[in-house]
Amino acid sequence: MPHPKLYKVGIRDVSFGENVKVVQPSNLYECSIGDDSFIGPFVEIQKGVAIGKRCKIQSHSFICELVVIGDDCVIAHGVMFINDLFQIGGPAKGDQSLWQKTTIGNEVCIGSNATILPVEICNKVVIGAGAVVTKDITVSGIYAGNPAEMIRKL
């Protein structure tokens, strides 16, 4: 009977700021996490991701490569970041040149189970639970829905 290749969840080659708290199990590798940030359990943060200072990343969130998150952000439970838009009709199949980046500003709060496609989100934005962000957000405000739309300015 064949045996699968097993990979262990772990923390590898992470640049941590001061006073960072991580609840295990978490899978963090080749990323950076700023001072006074908190990472909840069952979180994956992939290589090249940069998390700012005083951020809270709650349980079951997935932050893929090419994501930068500013300072004082909250990423609630189960938030998914996407970097592959299936431009060739399916997954990029290892062609990382097809992946796109996401930049999150400062003081951004992303609600539980939101999905964030490759976009830029400006400072001082609230994304509602379950929202799907498909376009850049350039005006501070509260956004919700699928696709996410502004509900009101902040």
pLDDT at 95: 86
Query: By the 8 A CB rule, do 77 and 83 touch?
Result: no
At 97, is the secondary structure helix, strand, or coil? helix
At 37-59, the pLDDT tens digits run 999 999 999 999 999 999 999 99
Compute the C-alpha angle 105/33/93, nearest 5°. 80
Q: Judging by DSSP bridges, how do beta strands 132-133 and 120-121 pair with one another?
A: unpaired
Task: Indicate the average pLDDT of the chain.
Answer: 96
At 104-121, the pLDDT tens digits run 999 999 999 999 999 999
Domains plus CATH for the chain? 11-86+96-153 (2.160.10.10)
Residue 13: CB atoms within 10 A of its CB come to 9
